[in-house]
Amino acid sequence: MYCELQIKKLSHQQGFTMLEALLTLFVLTIGVLGVAGLQIQGMRSGGMAMQRTIVLMKSQEIIERMRLNRGVDGQNLPLYAAGVAADGSCNSGTVCDSQTQVAHDLFVWQQDLASMLPTLDGAVIAAVPGPVPTSPYAVTVTVNWTANDGSAMPVVLSYTVNVQI
C-alpha cells in the first residue's frame, strides 16, 4: 500500500520586502549616529582633560621655580607676586642674580602658557610671609583660561593652588 502525504506550504516568502529593508536601514542609521555622537563627546572631554592637565603642570612648574629661587628667608617670593618685568634675558648658560632669575622664570612661564593654549593667563596672585622670617610663605597661583566645550558660549575656567614655600 502506498500512502502519499501531501504537505501544504503555508507561504511562499522569497526574501525581505522593501519595507523591512528600509526599516533595517533606519535602525542602522540611528545606531551609527549615536556612536558618532559619543565619539564627538569623547573628543571634547579629552580636549578639556588635556587643558586641565596643562594647567596643573604649569602651575606646579612655577611653584617649583619659586622653591628653587626662594632667596634668603623668602626675599624673592614677593617678586613673583609683583610680576616683575620680564624680558627673557637670563638664558641657559648665563649666571643671573636671583632677581633677574625671578623675571626670567615669570617670562618663560608666561611664554609656555601662551604657546600651549592661547587663552591661558597665569599669575602668582600672592606670596604672603609667615609670622617670622624663617616661616614659610603662603603662595597662591591662579591660572585662568577660556575653554570651548562645543557649546555656543565659551566657558571661563580657573585653577587656583595654595602652597607654602
**Dihedral over Cα of 68, 74, 78, 79: its sign:** negative
Q: With H, G, I as helix, E, B as strand and everything else as coil, classify residue 121.
A: strand
Q: CB neighbours of 14 closer than 8 A, spacing ≥ 6?
A: none
Look over the chain and give the mean of its residue pLDDT values, rounded to a whole number: 80
Positive or negative torsion for Cα 92, 94, 95, 99 = negative
CA distance 149 to 54: 16
Where do the structural domains in the chain lie, given as residue ranges? Answer: 20-164
Q: Which helix (H) or strand (E) holds 108?
A: helix 98-116
Under 8 Å between Cβ of 158 and 143? yes
Strand order in the sheet with 120-128: 120-128, 138-147, 155-164
DSSP 3-state of 53: helix
109 vs 88: CA distance, rounded Å: 10
Q: d(Cα 125, Cα 104) in Å, to the nearest integer?
A: 17
Tens-digit pLDDT profile for residues 75-100: 788 888 877 666 666 766 677 788 78
pTM of the model: 0.70
pLDDT, one tens digit per residue, over 122-163 is 677 767 777 766 678 888 888 888 877 666 677 888 888 988
Residue located via cell numbers 501544504: 8
